[in-house]
Amino acid sequence: MSSSAPTHSDAAAPVRTPGRSRPTALVLLVVAVLALTTALTRPGEAAAAAPPNSVGLVCTDGVAGDATHPIFNLTTKTGYISLPDGNTAFMWGYSSGSDGFQHPGPVLCVNQGDTVTVILHNTLPVPASIDFPGQRDVLADGLPVRAARNGGGRITSLVDPAAADGGTITYSFVAERPGTFLYESGTDPETQVRMGLFGALVVRPAAGATHAYNRDDSEFTAGEEFMVLLSEIDPYQHRAVELGKNFNVNNYKARYWLINGRGFPDSIADNGASWLPTQPYGALAQIHSYDAGGHPLPGMARYLNVGSEDYPFHPHGNNGTVIGRDGHPLENDAGDDLSFEKFAINIGPGQTWDVLFKWYDAEDYSPDNPVPVEIPSLANSVIGTFYSGSPYLGTRETLPPGTASLNQCGEYYIISHNHALYQITSWGATMTGPITYMRIDPPEPNDC
Amino acid sequence: MTSSTPGAGGGPGPIAAAAAVDRRRFLKLAGGAAMATGAVAWAGGWLNPEPARSAPGDPDLYWGGTDGWIYLPPTPAIAPFHPDSLAPAPLTTYIFGFRNLTGMTAQQRNNQKYKAQHSAPLFWVPQFDPDNPRDFTVTLTNLGLQLRPDLFDAHTLHWHGFRNVIPFFDGEPSGSISVPAGREFTYVYRPRDPGTYMYHCHVEDVEHVHMGMTGLVFVRPLQDGQNIGGFTRFLYNDGDGSTGFDREYAMFLSEVWAEAHWADAHIQLPEWSDYRADFALLNGRVYPDTIAPNGSIDPFNPVTDANGDLIAPDGHPELKFQPNSSLVTCKAGERVALRFSNLGFRESAMTTTGIPLTVVGRDATPMRGRDGTDTSYVTETINIGPGESYDVLFTAPDHSGGTGPDTYLLYNRSYARSTNLAPDGYGGQTTEIHVYPAGSTAIGAQAYPNDWGM
């Protein structure tokens, strides 16, 4: 797969500040901002094997098979990820083929009706497996999957595992229903899923790749499809696994929360950012505002929760229309629409929510249609690092001397974040974790 | 019922038609067939916005951000964090918060430094009327943090859930500007979507939200004032009176982790992943304080003393900085609206002792699919996540006889948050619903939300 390739080979690794003091968040924000600038202003420096898209969902397609019989090779690997407070965490993960460790696992994209084959190669010192929640009649080595039991009859794995240290097993199923699904280890999940054995599976409907479901009202804008995969980490559990020690899961306590395997500010760096070699998936949502003629369709966000509790995710300024959950469109038997709009996407453990969203420039404020209040002098304001100096989309103003702004072309940045706010921290570094932004570019032509 | 933002998945809808009709015609449309097809209430950016009539001079509301102290039950103590050793008696808990400075002199405004309240002042806004466009303005000033001048934190006002806001008016500090001490900024709102929301400061928001800069705001529908189905006040533009009510109560949920509040007062930092809700608050108080009288509620007619200070509710000097009561009073047969918003960090499970609750809105969205399909439902318990809002109706049950009110509890079924961690009964996110006989003269009409009518 290509998604883990570096985009900017010369980008400096972010400076890590391990402290837990208030300035940490500021330092991190500056780092974020530098990262964003680097990511967004040097598109010409992409390495040869750059991912197909710097933002948005990165699909891994089948590596073998044919158009309706994709085959994936997934290998369990160990590796490390970077966390926003400067720590690293030892992880397990699924990688595509012989790719290096990555977190989370590759996004498997298939089409409705495909017969999907996933060959698992297990390099871990324990048996491991892949469970496909929401898929029916999954086969393991050609036979219906069975739970594995220990000598006492207790279930140790929801599905047949691959043996430790080099075992292989082949899962297959027909992707009958379109939607967003998790795949995750079914073996000792309190350890294995938390260690990182999970990823997203996207099943495209027969209606096409720019529909979420086979409903006309589930169509979205090509190129505005985003993953919001939410997870958490207890560093003590990861340390124990790394050292081969026992961990009492009753002592589990998450200290980090992540989006697409990254914490803010890394979350808004490009897909495949070079300083995040094992965390290929960014979470920045880059869109254009609604326009009846040129941009009539919404964007699409695929939310997945692999954590231990509900995550209340809050996108500012654009309510999500929840059109499906767990691969089921929100409709009744008569086809009536049961979707609902939300400004808090409260997604439960193991759930997936399919959400359409769009942003209107509701008042069309501009220099010719100014905001109906006096704009205070910027010298009398605290200026945000993404602010253009102007309230208006596509407009920039001179900022006071010494003010750093990462705004490029008067684009808007509107935040999305977990609203259980203690979870947008990283073991002491506040304003990190599952935070990302929606970047709204000015209408074309622009000078972005 | 119209969800006045076009459905995200649908086309733009008959926008031009909706924009061209007058208000009466629009309401008729909204109440008729157009409602079911997703008609929209606003013209949007692709038409020329009508010039809004900006209120000259003073803003509609004038808010101040500062610090202060509130009262929570001092027992059981949570040593060394609660009650805080720095707290001026009878108060216990350091907060950041907002105050309503509307109509005050400059001297009165300055007097309010270190006199924050929690929850923040309740306010409401009429839905933007394209035929009578008027901006709603809230000026925010930063009075500074008396106990923590070292922080020199800015403040903002983030209206949580406001659709299609531009960053300039969103209050998220990275994408816009925020208000340093001694300065002010005016937020302009043209709210097109009725329902219940919440607001908070978004600067350092893990801290500023938890420290108490949080409150509830709602938008009244354009349909208000018409007589539809026997009601004249409504939660949404339902067209059929299905969201009409006789009385309304804002129920704002927040939490206090004693250690975090103590840490801010004592120049410490908490480890946020250790978060716990020691106190779960309903409108800024815990039961039984929740049923103590209101202080000054109506934000447009604030009542203060000559210094501009809050006046404590009758008999409760300790609740001076917690003016919002949660007691629900109603008469048998009346329809009562409860507007819930949660800016705690935990899910709350609000339930009653025997009164079914009908969910007619959620996150300022009527319970309707994009094609108009009714998705409202009846339940006994409302699970409200952080950042969520629910609009709920109930019909007050028959009275059991006699003259006094029947009492029902409304409480958080997550018991740890309806006890204050105390061993002896209910506390926390608990209040009472007092149902009077249908013909009772003990309570009159509400003058404003959460008014007891007494």
Three-class SS state of A45: helix
Amino acid identity, position A171: Y
Residue A377 corresponds to which tokens in the numbers above?
């002098």
Q: Hey, what amino acid is at A91?
A: M
pLDDT digits (tens, 9 = 90+) for B269-324: 999 999 999 999 999 999 999 999 999 999 999 999 999 999 999 999 999 999 99
Token pair of A172 as six digits: 């297959």
- Name the closest residue on chain A to residue B210, using Cα atoms: A421
Residue B95: beta bridge partners?
Answer: B68
At residue B51, does pLDDT exceed 70?
no
Before A235, cis peptide (omega within 30)? Answer: no
Q: pLDDT-based confidence at B424, cuts 50/70/90?
A: confident
Query: Among all residues of chain B, which has the CA nearest to that of A393?
Result: B166
CB-count exposure of residue B191 (10 Å: 0-12, 13-18, 19+): buried
CB contact set of B24 (below 8 Å; sequence gap of 6+): none
A9 in contact with B, Cβ within 8 Å: no
**The predicted structure's pLDDT at residue B48:** 37
**Residue A361 in tokens:** 């420039």
Q: Are A182 and A304 in contact (CB under 8 A)?
A: yes
Report the C-alpha gap between A55 and B272 in whole angstroms: 30
What does pTM read for this prediction? 0.89
> Within 13 Å, how many C-alpha atoms sit on residue A281's CB side?
26
The residues pairing with B198 across neighbouring beta strands, listed in sequence order, are B160, B216
Consecutive H or E run containing B160: strand B158-160
Model confidence at B380, pLDDT cuts 50, 70, 90, reads very high
Alpha helices in B125-173 (DSSP H): none
Structure tokens at A125: 């010192």
- CB-based contact A397:A417 (threshold 8 Å): no
Q: Give the ipTM of the model, two decimals please.
A: 0.88
pLDDT tens-digit readout, B238-252: 999 999 999 999 999
Task: Quote the CA–CA distance of A353 and B24 in Å, as a whole number.
Answer: 39
- What B25-30 contacts at long range (C-beta under 8 Å, 24+ apart), as own/partner pairs, is B26/B130, B26/B131, B26/B222, B27/B222, B27/B223, B27/B226, B27/B237, B30/B1, B30/B2, B30/B222, B30/B223, B30/B237, B30/B239
A63 vs A71: CA distance, rounded Å: 6
**Residue in the structure block whose two tokens are 């500062």:** B66
Phi and psi (nearest 5°) for A147?
Answer: -70, 140
Q: Which residue of chain B is at minimal alpha-carbon distance from A346?
A: B385
Let me know if B100 is exposed, middle or buried by CB neighbors in 10 A (0-12, 13-18, 19+).
buried
CB spacing of A319 vs B12 below 8 angstroms: no
Strand-pairing partners, residue A357, are: A299
Residue B346 contacts A, CB cutoff 8 Å: yes
Q: Which of residues 385-424 of B touch A (CB under 8 A)?
A: 385-389
B137 touches chain A (CB under 8 A): yes
Q: Say what the pLDDT of residue B236 is.
A: 98
pLDDT of the residue at A319: 87
Structure tokens at B72: 């929570």
B206 to A431: CB separation less than 8 angstroms, yes or no = yes
Instruction: Give CA torsion, residues B374, B380, B385, B388, to 10 deg.
Output: 40
A4 touches chain B (CB under 8 A): no
**Cβ of A356 under 8 Å from any chain B Cβ?**
yes
Quote the tokens at residue A307: 């954590």
Q: Which two tokens stand for residue A442?
A: 């000015």
How many whole angstroms separate alpha carbon B259 and alpha carbon B104? 35
DSSP state letter for B242: T
What's residue A51's pLDDT? Answer: 59
Name the 3-class secondary structure at B82: strand
Interface test with B, best of A22, A83, A341, A364 (most B CBs within 10 A): A341
Do the Cβ atoms of A139 and A133 come closer than 8 Å?
Answer: no
A84 vs A17: CA distance, rounded Å: 9
What SS3 class is residue A93? strand
Q: Which segments in chain A show pLDDT lower than 70? A: 1-51
User: For residues A159 and A172, what is the distance between their CA atoms, to the nearest angstrom?
Assistant: 12
Q: CA angle, corner B379, sides to B374 and B385, nearest 5?
A: 90
Please report residues of A whose CB lies closer than 8 A to that of B14. Answer: none
Cα–Cα distance for residue pair A305/A338, rounded to 1 Å: 22
Upstream peptide bond of B133 is cis (omega within 30 degrees of 0) = no
Nearest to A109 by CA among A53, A160, A159, A163: A53
Helix (H) or strand (E) holding A5: none
Res B56: pLDDT: 52
User: Among A233-237, B259-263, B410-414, B419-423, whose mean pLDDT is lowest?
Assistant: B419-423
Phi/psi of residue A369, nearest 5 degrees: -135, 70
pLDDT at B337 over 50: yes
CB within 8 Å: B180 and A380: yes
Measured between beta carbons, which residues in chain A are less than 8 angstroms from residue B377?
A: none
| Phi (first) and psi of residue B10, to 5 degrees | -90, 180
For residue B245, how far is the Cα from the chain centroid? 17
Q: Does residue A416 belong to the interface with chain B, where contact is any CB pair within 8 Å? A: no
Rounded CA gap, A3 and A11, in Å?
17
String of DSSP letters for B20-67: HS-HHHHHHHHHSHHHHTT--S---TTS-PPPPBPPPSS-SEEEEEEE
Q: Does A67 touch chain B (CB under 8 A)?
A: no
Name the CA dihedral angle for B71, B76, B81, B83, rounded to a multiple of 10 degrees.
Answer: 30
Interface check A317 vs B, CB under 8 A: yes
DSSP strands (E only) in A57-189:
64-66, 69-82, 88-96, 108-111, 115-122, 139-140, 143-144, 148-149, 155-157, 167-174, 179-184
Q: How far is CA B366 from CA B3, B194, B381, in A?
A: 7, 9, 19
What is the model's pLDDT at position A20? 35
**Residue A317 φ/ψ region, left for φ over 0, alpha for ψ in the -120 to 50 degree band, beta for the rest:** left
Pick the closest to residue B383 from B434, B327, B429, B427 (CA basis): B429
- Average predicted confidence (pLDDT) for chain B: 89
pLDDT for residue B32: 35
What count of CB pairs under 8 Å joins A to B? 250
